[in-house]
């Protein structure tokens, strides 16, 4: 993976849309914080691979489609940041 985009902003925040516009085919997106709210909005097209932080998803009582998003824990998040050539936090 070239770039890991970590998005903590809600879908209404301008940076959320900016991030989606910047994602390239070799990139991945990790939704954290309020960013996981995007999993409940079917009108938002999110790139693949898409990851969601388990604690934040559970805190918002969301049940994402497993085909759309891979739910991961903190250990997996650390592994993703190590694998990425570049990490951008939005």
pLDDT in tens, 7-23: 999 999 999 999 999 99
Q: 67-76: per-residue pLDDT in tens?
A: 789 999 999 9
**pLDDT of amino acid 50:** 95
Looking at residues 54-59, what average pLDDT do you find?
95
Q: Answer yes or no: is pLDDT of 46 > 90.
A: no
Spatial distance between the Cα atoms of 85 and 68, rounded to a whole number of angstroms? 24
Spatial distance between the Cα atoms of 8 and 15, rounded to a whole number of angstroms? 9
**pLDDT of amino acid 47:** 84
Q: Answer yes or no: is pLDDT of 1 > 90.
A: no
**pLDDT of amino acid 22:** 92
Spatial distance between the Cα atoms of 30 and 78, rounded to a whole number of angstroms? 11
Percentage of the chain beyond pLDDT 90 is: 80
């Amino acid at each position: 993976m070239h770039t890991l985009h970590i998005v903590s902003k809600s879908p209404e925040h301008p940076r959320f849309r900016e991030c989606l516009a910047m994602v390239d085919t070799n990139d991945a997106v990790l939704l954290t914080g309020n960013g996981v709210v995007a999993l409940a909005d079917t009108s938002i097209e999110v790139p693949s691979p898409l990851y969601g932080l388990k604690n934040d998803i559970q805190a918002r009582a969301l049940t994402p489609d497993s085909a759309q998003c891979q739910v991961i824990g903190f250990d997996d998040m650390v592994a993703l940041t190590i694998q990425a050539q570049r990490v951008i936090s939005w």
